[in-house]
Structure 1
Amino acid sequence: MTDKIDKVPVVVSLAPTGAPPEPIRAIPVRHFGRWGAGVVVVALLALLAYAFSQGNVRWATVSEKLFDSSILSGLGKTVLISVASMALGLALGVLFAVMRLSRNPVTSSVAWLYIWIFRGTPVYVQLLIWFNLALIFPIFDIGFYRDEMTDVMTPFLAALLGLGLNEGAYMAEIVRAGIQSVDEGQTEASHALGMSQAKTMRRVVLPQSMRVIIPPTGNEFINMLKTSSLVVAVQYPDLLRAAQDIASTSFAVMEMFFVASIWYLILTSVFSVGQFYLERHYARGSLRSLPPTPWQKITANLSFFSDPKAVAK
């Protein structure tokens, strides 16, 4: 006969039996090195500003000539030659990138030769070659048009060819890298749907490669704004040439260089903001969260000083 064991139910009480736990006291981490680096940078900037304030610089001339009519005219020509040269370089870059990736040995070799020559020689030398082309070709003759080379090769055309052809070699490598970043399965799927090679490149490959192409292209254009100052070698009346002309008559050499530098900084800053929003537009779909806008960065930095808890982040 077996013993019967009574099963006694166990009751677990979920009611609190004691005092609630004390809240955790989170002590923010003190970044003394960060604040020390900030103090050192501010001190160096103050010393730099003091050094320039003690120099023999006529700051009144800088503010007076900043909006001079010749300076503004040169500024417009700088933007014009930069945009035109970048457009030419981008068109040539796409063309020679496709040629470089072609299976045709002739077109790929010609594209490689173009990139090798124009990327391997200084842009300043290329500008001088175009400007002095009349020394070896006095007459420009293409059958249906004949004229003096000095009349054909104007300073604007020499600057456009010198900057645009040089930029095209760099853009060809940038576009080639962007095209090769697209998975080959995209091309194979397009061909399976009956799309031609040209249509596949235009409708499938290039749109997807823009995320890779846009950032370095923006950097190249900003660099083009500064490189355009070399067109003074071909007597193109850009911003730097206008500043030099005023400096030669007013003897305010450094002041006019400061004026030109201020305008170059303004131009690069404006186009840098445009580049940011263009990159942000093409980043949609590839990032979980878009990068903050410049205004969002400013408000975040302001909250760093207004909110004490931001120090711990």
Structure 2
Amino acid sequence: MGLLVDGVWHDTWYDTKSTGGRFVRSDAQFRNWITPDGAPGPSGEGGFKAERGRYHLYVSLACPWANRTLIFRALKGLEDHIGVSVVNPYMGKNGWTFEPAPGVVADPVANAQFLYEVYLRAQPGYSGRVTVPVLWDLERNVIVNNESAEIIRMLNSAFDQVGARPGDYAPAALLPRIDAMNARVYDAVNNGVYKAGFATEQSVYENEVAGVFACLDELDALLARQRYLVGDQVTEADWRLFTTLIRFDAVYHGHFKCNLRRLVDYEHLWDYTRELYQFPGVADTVNFDHIKQHYYRSHHSINPNGIVPSGPVLDLNAPVDRGRT
């Protein structure tokens, strides 16, 4: 995971020495919003109207943050509205690339070889991490947004007037509860597995991994009482948790040493994960080959030999009955 400094690429890993062995994630920098009429959103500038064929997503099938955007693209039926490019799962000295491999989809805009070229196309002197997902405006040739939490909110509502599939995963009445759940899950689980996996001090790791499982225990108990995270309706909060859970046993349990328990050891979380996986279109966004290839081959400081494990074998399509109608 390198970065650009004044438009120049540097193959530089996260500096955990300066943070006492802690992994600190940097904030996304492109924060414009697509809206139904092009009016400004909560941040950034206006002028990004929801239109069919105007926008393009750059994603990694390995990345849980990018997986969120693919799920919402599928749930809302936006496949014909928003195109997708997929990077190679291996992230080496040049960061994310479009090197041909099964599942890779090239950049149709300028035939970029490296994802950092997409960032430089939008902002030639850019400084910062080069991450996925990236939502690109084909009309203005700029990055709209590279913060997954904001992209999924746009996909949820901005395109409803231009033929998106019905369904509101962030209803106004539930937003306070959704936002509170998102904050808890992001810190302890979504980002928590990274804070444990990328820790370079024993005490830091032990503290972070304990936090991951304390939250998973809470969530399993919650799902014993109710169907979804904020009640009986599936919401954005569920999909944000799902993209971490679906990767848990395959990579976070072993590669990131989050191994106090497996996801399959949690009765309610495991059934919940399988139910969400079986929602129409969702399984097509999950690619375990890309997931394992990325994590086990790209993080040389954790797995220097790059050996990709054969397992685990997960039966995600077994029938599950959690009161679904």
| TM-score normalised by L of structure 2 | 0.20
More helix by share: 1
Q: Which has the higher strand share?
A: 2
Q: Of the two structures, which has the highest relative contact order with CA contacts closer than 8 Å and spacing of 6 or more?
A: 1
Q: Please tell me whether Structure 1 or Structure 2 has the larger radius of gyration of its CA atoms.
A: 1
